[in-house]
Chain A
Amino acid sequence: MDERTGMTDSSTKTRDPLSSQAARFLRQRLDRIVAEWAARVQRLPSGGLLKQSVERGEGVREVRKLFSLILDQMEHPASPVDREVLRQVQAGTSGQGISAGHLERAHLILKRVALDLLRQEYSAPQRDISRMCELVENEIDENRVRVSEAFVQSTQERLRDSVEKYRGFMRTAPEAIFVVRREDGLIVEANDAAARLTGRPIEELVDTPLAELRPEEDAPRWEEVFEQFDQASGPVGLDDARLLHGDGSRIAVDVSATPADFGGQRMALVVARDITEEKELAAQVQLYADQLKRTVQEKVEQVAALTRITTAISAGTDLERIFQIVSFEVGKLFAFDHFSIALLDEAHETFHVASVAGPAETELRDKSVFPLEGSLIDRVASERKVIQQDDLARLEAEAEGKTEGQAPFPEDRLLQAAGVRSYMSVPLLSSNRAIGALILGSNRPRAYSPRDSIALQEIAEQVALSIECARLSEIERKRSAELAIINEVGRKAMSTLDLDEFLQTVAESIQRNFAYFDVSIFLIDPDPNEVELVAQSGAYEEVSLVGYRQPIGVGMVGWAAEHGQTLLANDVTRESRRILAFAEEVAFGSELCVPIHVSDRTVGVINVECTEKNAFDPASVSALETLADLISRTIENARLFDQTRQLKQFNENVIANIPFALIVLARAKPDSQLTAIALNEAFCDFLSVPGSAKPGSAKPSSESVGRPVSQLFSPALLEASELEPRLEQVLRNGGVAHVLNIVDHRPRGHRVLNFHLSRVTSAPEAQVLLLIEDVTEAVERGYRLSMLRQINATVQGTLELEKILRIVLTCVTAGEALGFNRAFLLMVDREQNLLEGRMAVGSASAEDAYRVWQELAERGSSLTELLESVDYTTPREDLPLYDTVRRMVFPLTDEAELVVQTVLLKRPFIVEDGRHDPRVSETFLDLLGANSFVAVPLIAQDEAIGVIIADNLYAGGPVSTERVELLAIFANHAGLAIANGEAYASLKDKIQKLEDAYQTLEETSDKLVQSEKLAAVGEVAARVAHEIRNPLVTIGGFARAVHRALDPASPLAEKTGIIVDEVARLEKILASVMDFTKPTTPRQQPSHPNDLVEQSCLLLSIDLVVRNITLTKQLAPELPPVMVDPEQIKQALLNMMKNAAESIEWGGEITVTTALAKPASRSPARVPSPDDARAAPFVCISIQDTGKGIPPEALKKLFDPFFTTKSDGTGLGLAVTRKIIEDNGGEVKVKSEPGVGTTFVIYLPASGPEAPGFAKPGWLSPPGLIDGSGTGA
């Protein structure tokens, strides 16, 4: 409203009532008009945009508003509309390309629609209609004009906006922009960036020809671009052009020109981008690239030089030559005036110049030696870093000025003297160890850059490597010379035992091989504490005297003798300990004294002299020390020789007499087998089979010598001990080897051996000493004890008496254990005062025994394995000696019998010859079948509970006391175990009884639960049943009455018959339910089972016919009567038979059998108890059908109330049946196999002839009559 009030009233026309009439009329038809309008638009041959807007729905919406507005105007001419129209036009046209033309068209169509409608449908005088049409037409036209005006206005506004935007863009653009009129080439517009770029204000730029901004030299390129421009429709570009700055400089720019039309004039929009910085950057990059190229080139040269150096170095080991090549190549890489290679000495105290290139007449020349400490070389080498001196002259000046800085090195002065101004020194590193340094010097200051130092370091690496190689090869050469002499001395030492002669040879060899000036050897004579010259070779040979003596501690020799240490004087003039022993000695050069030690004692000194200084390097010192060792060994050998000879004699005696078997083995040829070369008597005994060697027969030693190992030992033994590979190993590697506890299985018993192997080092060819120790006894004793423990563990580990007995006897007879042939176990029965044979283990015959032994020997099984392999479930009756042991029964009162004595006296007896032993009865010996045996008591808690009798019937040998003792110990343990087993057995009896009791309890509890279940059923059922029974009686009763009254042929009779039957069925179901609730005490009377069956079968007959079932009765004659309620039982039988019949459905068999059952077979699941035995027999009645059977899962619930598999059953039939049977003291069982059939078995207690009668309740009718019809299930 505010908007409208703010507008001026543009309408002044008078209000015509027809106008508002027409408006109202049209407004009522607004929808139709708009729809018609849309339809007409759609029919237009052209006008795509208008059509589209209609399709989108916008057009319709907008026209509706528009027309509505027009109608408003007609009704209220004063309403201002301009702004609204303008808004509509903007909304309707913005972004959709709707033009003023489209709007005109829309109005025209609208006008036509409105007028057509008015003419056709408005009922009024023609005059009025014409007038109204006119009014409408006017109004629409007016609006059309308004819209067009608004449209123009809006277009202009947008145009203004565009221009503003364009100018804003121009102003703020970062690139310089010039608008150039092509016609005259004048700049029409330029922006701030253009002004900045060119250094001229915008005002100056405008109306200036663009050509004035370009330098002359670029003119042709500019022309060319603009020629392209005139032909192109898109932008054209000019890269790397130049523009003139206001100050006259040239600015590098990239230019692009875009064609544009402004007001019909062709313009070029020229954009210039300043690329000065980019160009500078490119120049920089180029510079770097060039530099890189140069560096690479240098590097290539260095690498080439290095390669040449490397080649030269690897070509030879001549250091001089290598140094020359290095200098030459370095010269190619670096300009130098001085190049030197300095090497450190071994002790790192000095260095010497190994090679130098440059002015020769300086102090820095070849081979000159300098102290290392504080030197340049020291610093470079120890710190492994490059030291560079840029200007020695300035350094000197600084040093004088006491300014801080690098302290000058001693070399600086020398280098300066050689004319060097600047230098660079790099370390020589070999395997990361500094061995020296290179110095590269120049007469110019600052001649070398850090980059040079890297190249020099690489060269230094190669040089170091070559120096190291050369050094090593030099050492190698020297060492080979030393080895030669050591070898010579060694040979000498081996071949001679005359010490003096040997020492003289040694002295001569040393002197000859090393070309020393003089070599002398002194020996210490401890008595007067002097050294004595014993050998000499060299310069003083003529002047000195062998036998010359000198006190220990005097002179260098004396010092070495006293301290036992090597003394080296590379410059004797500085060695204060040196004395001149005689006038001819020369007092210069070097001298070396090396002591000779024999087992920590100094016995002599080797003294070597040289005329030169520094003659001895560490290598030659160690060579002489090695020699000293050799000499000492020879001295020792000579001393030991006699002792050895004596020892040898002694050894031979020892070997011959020691109790161990001993054999020495060696190879006859390098690749032949090891053969025996010596052996002792014990070894011969070892080889011989016990008992087979005849006393006094020829010594087997002579036969065995020369035989190979494989013939001396059995293959099994060789394999078990791995003797051959071990012999080889010892032979090859020396040392000793022990092979312990090898079992040697032999036909009669085995033995346990320990092999000890050692190499005989003193013999010239390798020999092996094999010592064989027979440890059978010891091992067996230990084994038996451990076995005993094991048996105890096994025996104590079980409580099964039978198993314990078997284990005990098995242990007694096991070869690995006690090793008896047979074992009998007799136990004391205190109740009957008897000693009774219980069990025996062993073979029944000698053949069996040998067979068993054979198997055991082949298997080689241990006791544990044997015990595990025994089948303890074999009944003792099936064991071989059971017949024998069963007959061993002795009254404990028969004190004359030895076995009884064993029990009474509780001590073992050994019987060696039973036939002549008064303690043994003939009967017993006949029973045992052996003449010699052992009887041992089994003791448990100080009481003899039995006897073990063991013998060696088949092996036949005597029983050793040791074995008997072992057996006795064993018997003690066994006794305890057996006592435990017996205790356990009686305990088990008790447990069994408890278990039985528990089972009974459980059964009772089950029954209780069952009866509770039934009681619950009864309660519910009773309540419901009685409520139903009464009305049923009435219904059924009257139905029967009616039925009876009707003619049986009448149609009603059939229907009443159905009522009667249905009621009867209901009553039957009720009866079966209510029977539960009938807690009747069975009226038991002696009844004949067969009669019961016969009577039940009669009741079933109809079912049988209906289902085509054959009933077979197999009734046992002469069955005892059963004490039951006959009616209930008949009911139960009928139930079961009906059940059987129903399971058959159609065609099958039911077999009813009666029989007398043994009490035990009644319930196989239960352990028979004495109660059963005393109980009366049972009559069993079984009902077997060929029906569909009962699934196992259903079988369990079969007797539960309300359980049924039938669709029409109550699920009570079988529950009632069971209740009846149980009420009558019987039991019912069922077994079934689905698809085969089901068998119900009823067990009823048979009554004896004395079975008491039962007082029946005293009403008249026979109970069968009363119960049967009412409750038949």
Chain B
Amino acid sequence: MQRILIVEDDRNQRLLYQEELSAEGYVIDVAVDGKEAVDKAAANPPDLIILDISMPGMDGIEAMGKILGGNNKIPIILNTAYASYQDNFMTWAAEAYIVKSSDLTQLKATVRQVLIKRQAEEGAVGASEGSPSS
């Protein structure tokens, strides 16, 4: 069972992702802001984090920095309403950058791909160092 941490400040969206991804067969954990996400990721590292960027308090990019600072093996998908953060090189550290859409096909496909890739890496290299690159 793969575990996904969904970080989303908007309650309804959180609910949406939780339901949709549960339906895909993942175990879903949620965080309402960056700080909770950092805590949860440190306490119990998930297989994948879907991270919103624009959030009150600690935003997604800061949170991503802290999470990756603690454990750089957790793949993170940035899921945001803003296309503009792509220019911020910090976002390049994420596995993928998705602009939010009501159509979750893309999100689901990316989640799938990222998890497959992670499994393959873990299987092949074990606990090797280095950031993912293409």
Chain A residues at the B interface, C-beta cutoff of 8 Å? 1022, 1025-1026, 1029-1041, 1060, 1063-1064, 1067, 1071, 1074-1075, 1077-1081, 1256-1261, 1265-1266, 1269-1271
Contact = CB atoms under 8 A, between A and B. Distances in A.
A1256 B92 CA distance: 11
A1023 to B, nearest CB: 11
B92 A1269 contact: no
B128 interface: no
- Indicate the member of B23, B83, B132 with the most A CB atoms within 10 Å: B83
Given A1060-B102, A1270-B98, 20 more contacts: A1025-B81, A1026-B54, A1032-B102, A1033-B100, A1034-B16, A1037-B13, A1037-B17, A1038-B12, A1067-B102, A1075-B83, A1078-B83, A1078-B87, A1257-B86, A1258-B132, A1259-B96, A1260-B134, A1266-B98, A1269-B101, A1269-B103, A1269-B105
Interface of B: 10, 12-13, 15-17, 19-20, 23, 54, 81-84, 86-87, 92, 94-106, 109-110, 113-114, 117, 132-134
B113 A1040 contact: no
A1043 to B, nearest CB: 11
A1077 B82 CA distance: 9
Contacts of B87: 1078-1081
Given A1029-B81, A1081-B87, A1040 B100 contact: no
A306 B98 CA distance: 137
A1037 B113 contact: no
Given A1026-B81, A1078-B86, A1260-B132, A1037 B97 contact: no
Contacts of B101: 1033, 1036, 1067, 1269-1270
Contacts of A1064: 102-103
27 contacts: A1022-B82, A1025-B81, A1030-B13, A1030-B81, A1032-B102, A1033-B13, A1033-B81, A1033-B100, A1033-B102, A1034-B12, A1036-B103, A1040-B102, A1040-B103, A1077-B83, A1079-B84, A1079-B87, A1258-B133, A1259-B95, A1260-B95, A1260-B114, A1260-B132, A1261-B113, A1265-B109, A1269-B103, A1270-B99, A1270-B101, A1271-B83
B106 A1269 contact: yes
A1074 B10 contact: no
A1037 B18 CA distance: 11
Contacts of A1029: 81, 100
Nearest to B54: A1026
- Indicate the member of B87, B103, B133, B134 with the most A CB atoms within 10 Å: B103
Contact of A1030 (B10, B86, B97, B104): B10
Contacts of A1040: 102-104
A1259 B133 CA distance: 7
Contacts of A1032: 102
Nearest to B99: A1270
A1259 B102 contact: no
B72 to A, nearest CB: 14
Contacts of B103: 1036, 1040, 1064, 1067, 1269
B59 to A, nearest CB: 13
Nearest to A1035: B102
Contact of A1041 (B19, B84, B86, B114): B19
A1022 B81 CA distance: 10
B77 to A, nearest CB: 10
Contacts of A1081: 87
Nearest to B17: A1037
B96 A1261 contact: yes
A848 to B, nearest CB: 76
Contacts of A1075: 83
Contacts of B16: 1033-1034, 1037-1038, 1041
Contacts of B95: 1259-1260
A1042 to B, nearest CB: 11
Contacts of A1025: 81
Contacts of B23: 1041
A1261 B78 CA distance: 13
A1252 to B, nearest CB: 19
Given A1033-B101, A1034-B10, A1026 B96 contact: no
A1073 B51 CA distance: 24
A1074 B99 CA distance: 11
A1034 to B, nearest CB: 4
Contacts of A1071: 99
Given A1033-B102, A1040-B104, A1265-B106, A1260 B10 contact: no
A1256 B134 contact: yes
Contacts of A1037: 13, 16-17, 20, 102, 104
Contacts of B132: 1258, 1260
- Indicate the member of A1025, A1035, A1259, A1269 with the most B CB atoms within 10 Å: A1259
A1004 B33 CA distance: 45
Contacts of A1074: 82-83, 99
A-B complex: 6 closest residue pairs judged by Cβ atoms: A1036-B102, A1037-B16, A1034-B12, A1078-B83, A1029-B81, A1270-B99
